[in-house]
């Protein structure tokens, strides 16, 4: 069978594999024999001062450069099937082929090596080429270029939560656990960095007076974001939410206990996800969803349920560029006296003046200050390490 090749010319790449075993012990004590007066010429030629295993960890592979500048393995596509990763735990992934059949797949080692700067080589939502092995197993040979991602920083590496999505549904609660607008702003930035649309969903709206939600809903609506209030108790907003998710690929993101799984169950009862209660002791949600998973909606589209995130450390965002993600700051930045104004302590700051004149929300400004303060501290600690 002919080998299907890409139009792009492959290049040779020298890959260093991670250690997965200790060095082989030398058969003879080289140092002791040298002290005993034995000549180097008399030693066996097979004896090496430098372990052979050090050199054997390198391999030359053929790879191609994709549109984003990343390397793609040159593989025999005729032996592979196309599929999408429904969930990924460690080295094992559940992949659905184009025919709807699911396979339990592992990840080719060289593929993991090429992705060593990221936390995961394969994530939920990835479109992959995999080689079937047996009836329902396979080996993932290549991950296609990603688009529309949601990611965060984890141990100084990028942790991509999900890929190939259209929109992020940021789920917070009116109460139990308390509403955190700072977390909303972090998710908004992460969604924009990942080139996805963002929808703000305030769930458990039945727990408060609807009038109390209007300032929050109105603020983000005026900034151009889509907002929705929902409740699975009285059905508020679930019909509108179903319309927003129909025919799209949406990831639900937020803290534990905000009701992400319950919302999915409300709009697609056939899914039957496990749900939990909020701890009454510390008012924080308990983890019921333990892995990111893609779920097919019976009315069209995909939804992604994710484990709760209590803190979202932004990936690849430096403090100096945070102002650009606060869209209401943009008209006033030009009035700052200093071109590198941080809008924190400088005199004649256009943004601070707009806050004093209530043209910019104090809540959003305080969220901005918290973001750059936390990021400065984390950046300094990372440099010290």
Q: Cα 168 vs. chain centroid, distance in angstroms? A: 12
Q: Tens digits of per-residue pLDDT, 130-170?
A: 999 988 999 999 999 999 999 998 888 888 999 999 999 99
Q: Give the pair of three-digit tokens for residue 285.
A: 């949600």
Tell me what pLDDT residue 66 has.
52
Tell me what pLDDT residue 328 has.
96
Please answer whether residues 307 and 292 qualify as being in contact, where contact means their C-beta atoms are separated by less than 8 angstroms. yes
Q: Tens digits of per-residue pLDDT, 95-141?
A: 999 999 999 999 988 777 766 556 678 999 999 999 999 889 999 99
> For residue 195, is pLDDT > 90?
yes
> For residue 57, is pLDDT > 60?
no
Residue identified by tokens 């909606």 is 297
Domain with residues 163-305, CATH architecture: 3-Layer(aba) Sandwich (3.40)
The CATH superfamily label for domain 319-384 reads: Probable gtpase engc; domain 3 (1.10.40.50)
- Where are the chain's structural domains? 1-21+55-145, 163-305, 319-384
The CATH superfamily label for domain 1-21+55-145 reads: Nucleic acid-binding proteins (2.40.50.140)
Q: Which strands sit side by side in the sheet containing 71-73, from one edge to the other?
A: 11-16, 58-65, 71-73
Whole-prediction pTM:
0.76
| Cα–Cα distances in angstroms (integers) from residue 115 to residues 17, 20, 107, 120, 159, in the given order | 11, 16, 11, 7, 11
């Amino acid at each position: 069978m002919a080998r299907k090749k890409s139009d792009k010319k492959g290049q040779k790449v020298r890959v260093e594999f991670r250690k997965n075993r200790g060095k082989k012990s030398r058969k003879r004590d080289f140092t002791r024999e040298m002290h005993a007066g034995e000549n180097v010429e008399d030693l066996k030629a097979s004896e090496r001062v430098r372990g052979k295993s050090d050199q054997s960890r390198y391999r030359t592979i053929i790879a191609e450069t994709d549109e984003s500048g990343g390397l793609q393995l040159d593989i025999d596509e005729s032996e592979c099937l196309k599929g999408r990763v429904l969930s990924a735990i460690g080295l094992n992934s559940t992949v659905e082929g184009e025919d709807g059949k699911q396979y339990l797949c592992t990840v080719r080692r060289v593929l993991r090596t090429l992705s060593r700067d990221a936390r995961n080589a394969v994530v939920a939502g990835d479109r992959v080429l995999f080689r079937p092995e047996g009836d329902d197993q396979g080996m993932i040979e290549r991950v296609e270029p990603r688009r529309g991602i949601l990611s965060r920083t984890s141990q100084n590496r990028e942790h991509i939560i999900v890929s190939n999505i259209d929109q992020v549904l940021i789920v917070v609660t009116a109460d139990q656990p308390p509403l955190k607008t700072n977390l909303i702003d972090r998710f908004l930035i992460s969604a924009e960095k990942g080139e996805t649309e963002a929808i703000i969903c305030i769930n458990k709206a039945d727990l408060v007076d609807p009038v109390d939600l209007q300032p929050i809903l109105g603020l983000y609506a005026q900034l151009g974001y889509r907002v929705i209030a929902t409740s699975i108790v009285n059905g508020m907003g679930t019909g509108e939410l179903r319309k927003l998710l129909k025919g799209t690929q949406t990831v639900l993101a937020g803290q534990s206990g905000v009701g992400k799984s319950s919302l999915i169950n409300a709009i697609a009862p056939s899914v039957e996800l496990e749900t939990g209660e909020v701890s009454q002791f510390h008012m924080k949600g308990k983890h019921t969803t333990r892995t990111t998973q893609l779920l097919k909606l019976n009315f069209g589209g995909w939804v992604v349920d994710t484990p709760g995130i209590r803190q979202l450390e932004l990936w690849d965002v430096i403090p100096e560029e945070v102002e650009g993600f606060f869209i209401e700051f943009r008209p006033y930045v030009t009035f700052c006296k200093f071109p590198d104004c941080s809008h924190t302590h400088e005199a004649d700051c256009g943004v601070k003046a707009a806050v004093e004149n209530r043209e910019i929300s104090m809540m959003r400004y305080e969220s901005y200050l918290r973001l750059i303060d936390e990021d400065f501290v984390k950046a300094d600690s990372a440099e010290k390490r």
